[in-house]
Amino acid sequence: MINIVLFGKPGAGKGTQAEFLKTKYNLKHISTGDLFRYHKSNNTELGQLAQSYSDKGYLVPDDVTIKMLQDEVERNPDTNGFLFDGFPRTIAQAEALDAFLESKSWSVTATVALEANDEILVARLLERGKTSGRADDQDEALIRKRYQEYNEKTAPLADYYKQQQKFYEVDGIGSVEEVTERLSLVIDKFN
């Protein structure tokens, strides 16, 4: 089983690359954003709970996010592995993911970070914002705030996974095909 954690700053190309990687390696793509949308739109118990936090302006607590992720893994027992996109975002989430996978006699195979210069990423998001309809892609100050939060909360995951010798950096700049090829060179080591 191959379990890949894919992370990088907003605009680094995680979603685009996840579409190629899930097909190429027959992995179940789990995006926390998609999970939140699914649970909220289907008015599940977890969706209602997540919405109750969002309605008050709070971030959804880790335990709710982790439960959504666990449920999604449980619904896909016959996959070749998972591609985690947008999770974990913190050390506490990484530890929870490790514990959950260990309970199934699995582990994170590799963590791959799509790296790119902030200025290039800001330009990408502003361009995407012209068609995505996402307000957070149309305001440079909001984009930079997202990067600051990433640097404070998510970037420390690099050290966490480096200690486990599971961290790989991939240049996220270039054509979609070039970046996919770079990612494949990492993942093929485990396939």
User: Can you give the pLDDT of all 191 residues of the chain as single tens digits?
Assistant: 899 999 888 889 998 999 999 999 999 999 888 898 899 899 999 999 988 887 787 778 889 999 999 999 999 988 999 999 988 988 999 999 999 999 999 999 999 999 988 899 899 889 888 888 777 788 888 888 888 888 887 888 999 999 999 999 999 999 999 999 999 999 999 87
Task: Give the residue numbers annotated as catalytic, written as ranges.
Answer: 14, 89, 128, 134, 146
Domain ranges of the chain: 2-116+155-187
Domain 2-116+155-187: which CATH number of 3.40.50.2000, 3.30.70.100, 3.30.2290.10, 3.40.50.300:
3.40.50.300
Which of the 8 DSSP states describes residue 174? Answer: S
Q: How many CB atoms neighbour CB 38 within 10 A?
A: 15
pTM, rounded to two decimals: 0.86
Phi-psi region at 65: left, alpha or beta (left = phi > 0; alpha = psi -120 to 50)? alpha
